[in-house]
């Protein structure tokens, strides 16, 4: 198999580095970059280790054809620097991957970040030294450094899932994973190509691969809902209008449970009659993308309401796909939006092309590979190249790749064996001065990612600053508070239909992983309020220097910007449940 990760065979930098830091950050995606910026502003000595050859994280690796963001460009960007907001120009409504990567590079340049980042270097272990109260961090470049604080900015969807298909080793053709795509691109011209998976990555790449390849065979285990993106060139007037009052859009977005601003209909789906309901669905369909979920207020909370959206979407597929047998196979039967909703540009239309065929593997899985293809039952499918669009070991996969040992040598992997345990998705008990950005138990993937990242980074930077300023040595969650939070995350998830299916949100996309609803679904504003309260109450729920910290921390310094105003009109039942839950 082509070693995709090392396509460019980038040399490890030989740059000698110091052996002691105030903070080490793992990862230089949007989270690691902003964390570096904030900690440097505080005057700390910081080093970042990044496995990739440059900044950008997910946008560095996911270079598959058609990769683009499905949150609108004007909302998928940093908000911390007004000058940056004003000077960067997006070219499309939904930015394509190369443009987002250029944006990451631009930010790195503007804030001179690269000088403190060691690229092509993977952190392999992080071990807490209880005598010295610091972390000992080792890399695959043979660095060993110490740092008082260790921040894991490793991403939520960054550890590729490569199912162990039987006899894959026999396959002589090329293999690719969408999440580790070759930097120089892939030319499928004249090839018979197979793609396994029909999630967001597949749905974006299939139309483009089908245009190039001689033939494309799509192996589908679960059909997925997808709403058209209706992507277009950026309307310059719209961009200008947003920039004239960017802070207004940011504030509105933060007030939304999803952290994204889009039109929202307060009506429950069963209130209007069918004709009226379908008219509203059509309007939201014509707007396109994830905001379709705003067509009615209860789509993710009421099964009957959800079924109306599901049937509307299925009818779209039936109308687009000419072969009715294929159309039915493409029609999902599960809850609409339970697995993450996909956004496409011509996905279903692609199945009308003569060179594209769909193979249903829902009941008969792939049996094994062979030198020139694979078998489903006894039927052989031959191809030159195979694309694994099989997703990620979501939320926890990249933590598992690092040997993280906390107090008493306890390993994080062991602690999280039955599912991740964190306090607010920011820290975990027994692992002092270790922070995670958009960790499990925080809204992360259920809110706009860059927004979630900035809020976490600001919270962590404030926390580090307060600890350093007050001369404290360590901070770590109290186990009972963490337990309450984990329970709360689970309880709130039950209000949402999203907790009911086999998605990566619950770790069900990979056999053997614990089934736990990992992100916090109580909504971004409620979560932010909770983080603020914990801090202003003197790190309630944390031990500082091994002792309960409540009220003992003098003069907490606080980033006021994250005082969000909850948009009460768009509170979902999950938000209401979160608000009423005792832990809050």
Q: Which range, of 194-202, 289-297, 554-562, 567-575, touches ligand N01 by CB under 6 A?
A: 194-202
Q: Does 163 bind ligand N01 (CB under 6 A)?
A: yes
Of 251 and 361, nearer to ligand N01 (C-beta) is 361
Q: Among residues 53 and 199, whose Cβ is nearest to ligand N01?
A: 199
Phi, psi values for residue 190, rounded to 5°: 75, 5
The Cα 152–Cα 453 span in angstroms is 12
In the complex, minimum distance from the CB of residue 31 to ligand N01, in angstroms, rounded to a whole number:
15
Could you give the CA distance from residue 141 to residue 114 in angstroms, rounded to a whole number?
Answer: 18
509 part of the interface to ligand N01, by CB under 6 A? yes
Q: Does 197 bind ligand N01 (CB under 6 A)?
A: yes
Residues 218 and 206: beta-carbon distance below 8 Å = yes
Q: Is 202 in the site for ligand N01 (CB under 6 A)?
A: yes
Q: Map the footprint of ligand N01 across residues 346-375, applying CB under 6 A.
A: 361, 366
Kindly tell me which of 24 and 343 has the beta carbon lying closer to ligand N01: 343
Residues 492/581, Cβ–Cβ less than 8 Å: yes
Site for ligand N01 contains 506 (CB under 6 A): no
Total residues in contact with ligand N01, by rule CB under 6 A: 26
Residues 218 to 257 in contact with ligand N01, rule: CB under 6 A: 221-222
**DSSP letter for each residue of 98-118:** HHHHHHHHHHHHHTT-GGGEE
Within 57-86, which residues bind ligand N01 (CB under 6 A)? Answer: 69-70
d(CA 149, CA 460): 10
From 199-207, 262-270, 276-284, 521-529, span contacting ligand N01 (CB under 6 A): 199-207
Token duo for residue 574: 């999950």
Q: Does 521 bind ligand N01 (CB under 6 A)?
A: no
574 binds ligand N01 (CB under 6 A): no
97 SS3 class: helix
**Among 132, 135, 160, residue whose Cα is nearest residue 26:** 135
**Residue from 157, 374, 467, 535 binding ligand N01 (CB under 6 A):** 157
Long-range residue pairs from 510-517, CB within 8 A, at least 24 positions apart, any chain = 510/161, 510/163, 510/393, 513/393, 514/417, 514/418, 514/419, 515/419, 516/418, 516/419, 516/420, 516/490, 517/489, 517/490, 517/493
One-character DSSP codes across 392-436: B-TTTHHHHTSEEE-GGG-BHHHHTTTS---BTTTB-TT-TTEEE
Cβ neighbours of residue 84 closer than 8 Å, sequence gap 6 or more: 78, 107, 110
Residue 198 sits in the site that holds ligand N01 (CB under 6 A): yes
Residue with smaller CB distance to ligand N01, 387 or 544: 387
Quick one: which of 340, 456, 498, 530 contacts ligand N01 (CB under 6 A)? Answer: 340
From candidates 75, 158, 159, 200, binder to ligand N01 by CB under 6 A: 200
Q: Is 504 in the site for ligand N01 (CB under 6 A)?
A: yes
Q: Is 334 in the site for ligand N01 (CB under 6 A)?
A: no
Tell which one of 101, 168, 196, 386 touches ligand N01 (CB under 6 A).
196
Applying CB under 6 A, does 466 fall inside the site for ligand N01? no
Q: How far is CA 500 from CA 53, 339, 340, 505, in A?
A: 39, 9, 12, 10
- The distance of closest approach from Cβ of residue 354 to ligand N01 in the complex, given in angstroms and rounded to an integer, is 24
Euclidean distance between the first and the last CA atom of the chain, given in angstroms as a whole number: 50
* Region of 193-201, 314-322, 368-376, 487-495 interacting with ligand N01 (CB under 6 A): 193-201
Which C-beta is closer to ligand N01: that of 193 or that of 534?
193
Q: Tokens 């039967």 belong to which residue?
A: 333
Q: Does 389 bind ligand N01 (CB under 6 A)?
A: yes
Site mask for ligand N01 (CB under 6 A), range 19-38, x = bound: --------------------
How many other CB atoms are found less than 10 A from the CB of residue 561?
15
Q: Which has the closest alpha carbon to 76: 61, 60, 96? A: 96
Q: Does 446 sit near ligand N01 (CB under 6 A)? A: no
Residue 403, CA atoms < 13 Å, CB-side half-sphere: 9
Applying CB under 6 A, the span of 169-177, 255-263, 390-398, 517-525 interacting with ligand N01 comes to 390-398
Copy the structure tokens of residue 307: 């079924």
160 counts as binding ligand N01 under rule CB under 6 A: no
Both structure tokens of 407: 């107090």
Interface with ligand N01 by CB under 6 A: which residues?
A: 69-70, 157, 163, 178, 196-202, 204, 221-222, 340, 343, 361, 366, 389-392, 445, 504, 509
């Amino acid at each position: 198999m082509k070693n995709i990760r090392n396509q460019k065979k980038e040399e490890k930098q030989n740059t000698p580095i110091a052996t002691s830091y105030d903070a080490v950050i793992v990862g230089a995606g949007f989270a690691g970059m902003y964390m570096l910026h904030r900690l440097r502003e505080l005057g700390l000595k910081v080093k970042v280790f990044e496995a990739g050859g440059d900044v950008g994280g997910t946008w560095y690796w996911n270079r598959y054809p058609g990769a683009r963001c499905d949150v609108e460009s004007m909302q998928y960007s940093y908000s911390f620097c007004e000058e940056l907001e004003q000077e960067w120009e997006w070219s499309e409504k939904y930015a394509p991957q190369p443009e987002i990567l250029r944006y990451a590079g631009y930010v790195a340049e503007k804030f001179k970040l690269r000088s403190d980042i060691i690229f092509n270097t993977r952190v392999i272990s992080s071990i807490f030294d209880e005598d010295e109260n610091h972390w000992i961090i080792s890399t695959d470049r043979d660095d060993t450094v110490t740092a008082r604080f260790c921040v894991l900015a490793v991403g939520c969807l960054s550890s590729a899932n490569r199912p162990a298909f039987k006899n894959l080793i026999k396959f002589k053709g090329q293999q690719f994973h969408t999440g580790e795509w070759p930097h120089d691109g892939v030319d499928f011209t004249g090839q018979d190509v197979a793609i396994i998976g029909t999630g967001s990555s597949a749905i974006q790449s299939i139309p483009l691969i089908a245009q190039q390849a001689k033939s494309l065979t799509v192996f589908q285990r679960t059909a997925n809902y997808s709403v058209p993106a209706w992507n277009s060139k950026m309307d310059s007037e719209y961009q200008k209008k947003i920039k004239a009052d960017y802070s207004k859009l940011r504030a509105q977005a933060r007030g939304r449970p999803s952290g994204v601003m889009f039109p929202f209909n307060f009506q429950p789906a069963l209130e209007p009659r069918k004709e009226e309901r379908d008219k509203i669905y059509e309007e939201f369909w014509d707007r396109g993308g994830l905001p379709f979920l705003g067509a009615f207020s209860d789509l993710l909370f009421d099964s009957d309401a959800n079924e109306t959206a599901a049937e509307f979407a299925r009818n779209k597929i039936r109308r687009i796909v000419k072969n009715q047998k294929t159309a039915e196979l493409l029609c999902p039967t599960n809850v609409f939006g339970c697995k993450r909703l996909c956004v496409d540009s011509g996905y279903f239309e692609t199945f009308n092309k003569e060179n594209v065929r769909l193979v249903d593997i829902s009941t008969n899985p792939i049996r094994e590979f062979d030198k020139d293809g694979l078998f489903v039952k006894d039927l052989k499918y031959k191809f030159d190249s195979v694309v694994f669009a099989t997703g990620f070991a979501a939320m926890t996969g990249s933590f598992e790749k690092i040997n993280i040992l906390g107090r008493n040598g306890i390993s994080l992997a062991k602690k999280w064996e039955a599912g991740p345990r964190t306090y607010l998705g920011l820290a975990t008990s027994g692992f002092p001065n270790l922070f995670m950005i958009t960790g499990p138990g925080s809204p992360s993937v259920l809110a706009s990612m860059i927004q979630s990242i900035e809020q976490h980074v600001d919270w962590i930077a404030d926390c580090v600053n307060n600890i350093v300023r007050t001369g404290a040595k360590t901070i770590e969650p109290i186990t009972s508070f963490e337990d309450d939070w984990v329970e709360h995350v689970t309880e709130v998830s039950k209000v949402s239909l999203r907790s009911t299916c086999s998605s990566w949100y619950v770790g069900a996309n990979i056999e053997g992983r614990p089934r736990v609803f990992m992100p916090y679904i109580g909504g971004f504003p409620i979560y932010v309020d909770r983080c603020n309260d914990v801090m202003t109450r003197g790190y309630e729920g944390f031990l500082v220097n091994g002792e309960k910290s409540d009220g003992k921390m003098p003069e907490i310094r606080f980033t006021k910007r994250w005082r969000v105003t909850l948009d009460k009109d768009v509170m979902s039942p999950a938000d209401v449940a979160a608000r009423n839950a005792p832990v809050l």
